[in-house]
Chains A and B, each alone.
Chain A
Amino acid sequence: MSDEQYDAALDLLSRLNPGSVQENLMALISLEPTLADDLLSSVDQPLKLLKPKLQQQNDNTTGVGKDFLCCDYNRDGDYYRSPWTNKYYNLGTGQQTQETEESYFPGDELRNREQLFNDSFEVYKDMYYENGGVSSCYLWETSEIEDNTYDNGFAGVVLFQKGKGQLGKWDSIHVFEVSKETEDAFNYKLTSTIILHLNDNDKTKLGGNLTRQVEKVIKRQPDNIALDEFHITNVGSMVEDIETQMRTMLEVVYFEKTMDIYHQLKFAVDTSDNRAKQQEDIIKGLQNL
């Protein structure tokens, strides 16, 4: 694979139907197999939902059997790590698997933080996505581990998914990196992508994705606040703010921009006609009372 081929593949995907990104990725990889790793790790795809199977009936261990979301960050071949149990499961069968030596697991401290993040974002998910939403969060190290505390920084991804029957599907992917800026401040970089598809009986389709980036340096105040709490507060607020902004952007782009562009081609139906028709409808409605 050359850099030119990789750049061309990314450029091409931005000029094709965003609703077929998975199929198009597979097509590109079949044309040029050496593109696989780089494309799969850099192109945002709709999230896969994994429903783990119970190993034994009546297993009441916390998180067992709980659905989670899959992306390249919790993948190991065909297996994906659950944020609830910290175990790997097969995407197709939901069967738990024995980890191999290469399987990634966060260290104890980071795993504790990951659990706090997952619990917190699950509350967030319940409040914003309500019934039917799923959340997952994965953390990983970014630099050499010093005394196993990750005080200098770490990275992670926060995922949300919600489907509404055939009508629509929402995937949020928030990738963030935290690094120590000064003795008492941290830098937070967040890249958020929302993939949204809406479909009315296959006749009218609105689909695609928007991406935004934000970066913030935040001072640790009060300076005795626990690091885990400090980080979840900052990452949580940033995710909440950007998702709320992007929801507004999506609404504007999907429902206003596209219609405006359509009317640059075909003019809006004469509004006087419309008004006459509305009045007619009202009169008809009144007559039917």
Chain B
Amino acid sequence: MDFQKITANLINQCLPGEIKHAYNDILTIVGPNAKQELLYSVEQYNIDNFVPIKVQDTPVIISKYNKQGSKYIDYQNSLIFSVDPIELVGLDIEPYQEKEDINVSELASLYESLKMHVSKKFAPEVTTIAVHPVADKRFALIVSCTKYNPSNFWNGNWKSCYIYDTDSKLMEGEAAVNVHYFEDGNVKFNSSKTLDQVQTSDDYIKVIESFELEFENEMQSSFNNLNELGFKSLRRRLPVTRSKINWGRAIGNYRLGKDAASTGL
């Protein structure tokens, strides 16, 4: 594997809210010559994970759909900007003139519907949404929810992206959640679900709602499975004898008991 692949692979699996630290760590290990390659990988990470970028104090989602050259477009506030991928802020912010081929009113109406959908279901202060044009009549409805609480040793994110065609009313997409807990250790929880293409009528938000509910129910049943069938069968809370072990020379008695039982004595 070449250098770019190795470092990109490290950056790709960076846990929520850790990208700046990870970038600095890798830079320390490989030296400053690799800076441009690393910055490129970090930008890809930000795009893939819909990491919100502060543009004039407002969080804005960047994706492959609102990228234009080296810049990104904020359709809601009609701005175009470049990104500092480490500090996660917008730079060279300029007004953006909409192109004629984008249906502005459709985009705005999708945005309002998405806003309604997230308002009661996601923590508002940490949730960012966007609608990006994918192609004529096709739009990406994106939700990115990031909550970082390192002083309590946890960070987490939710990301979902649905591609909706306003003509055919077909929709597909996926949702994913990542949680990192790191008090006295390093624990990761992640889960994801794909929405295969479905025919909707005008109730596309209802389809998203029921898909996300299903995702959550599946997650809960996975948790039950993993706990009951996985975790509980690994190590017992107490031995079958229901008492702690009697250490020392006498410990051999347990074995004698077991051998006696297995030979039927």
Contacts and interface: CB of A to CB of B under 8 A. Distances in A.
A198 interface: yes
Contacts of A269: 213, 216
Interface string B135-152: 000000000011101000
Given A12-B29, A164-B230, A206 B147 contact: no
Task: Find the residue from A19, A129, A198 having the highest chain B CB count within 10 A.
Answer: A198
A208 B188 contact: yes
Nearest to B190: A205
A127 B240 contact: yes
A269 B218 CA distance: 13
B65 interface: no
A95 interface: no
B28 A4 contact: yes
Contact of B181 (A27, A160, A247, A257): A257
Given A15-B15, A168-B231, A264 B156 contact: yes
B6 A127 contact: no
B234 A203 contact: no
A211 B29 CA distance: 25
Given A12-B10, A264-B123, A265-B126, A198 B226 contact: yes
Contacts, number: 238
A149 interface: no
B104 interface: no
Contact of B247 (A5, A237, A258): A237
Given A20-B13, A207-B188, A28 B122 contact: no
Nearest to A26: B6
A16 B179 contact: no
B186 A198 contact: no
Interface string B78-122: 000000000000000000000000000000000000000000111
Q: How large is the interface on A (under 10, 10 to 19, 20 to 34, 35 or more residues)?
A: 35 or more
Contacts of A30: 1, 6
Contacts of B239: 127-128
A158 to B, nearest CB: 13
A208 B185 contact: yes
B10 A253 contact: no
A203 B222 contact: yes
Interface stretch (B56-64, B68-76, B164-172, B250-258): B250-258
A59 interface: no
A203 B7 contact: no
Given A12-B26, A15-B15, A128-B239, A204 B191 contact: yes
B244 A240 contact: yes
A211 B184 contact: yes
A31 interface: yes
B15 A267 contact: no
A90 to B, nearest CB: 26
Given A31-B29, A204-B219, A264 B188 contact: no
B226 A204 contact: yes
Contact of B10 (A24, A119, A170, A199): A24
A119 B226 CA distance: 31
Nearest to A267: B121
Contacts of B248: 229, 232-233
Interface stretch (B17-25, B46-54, B199-207): B17-25
Interface of B: 1, 3, 6-7, 9-10, 13-15, 18, 21-22, 24-26, 28-30, 120-123, 126-127, 145-147, 149, 154, 156-158, 177, 179, 181-193, 212-213, 216, 218-219, 222-223, 225-227, 229-231, 233-241, 244-245, 247-249, 251-252, 254-255, 258
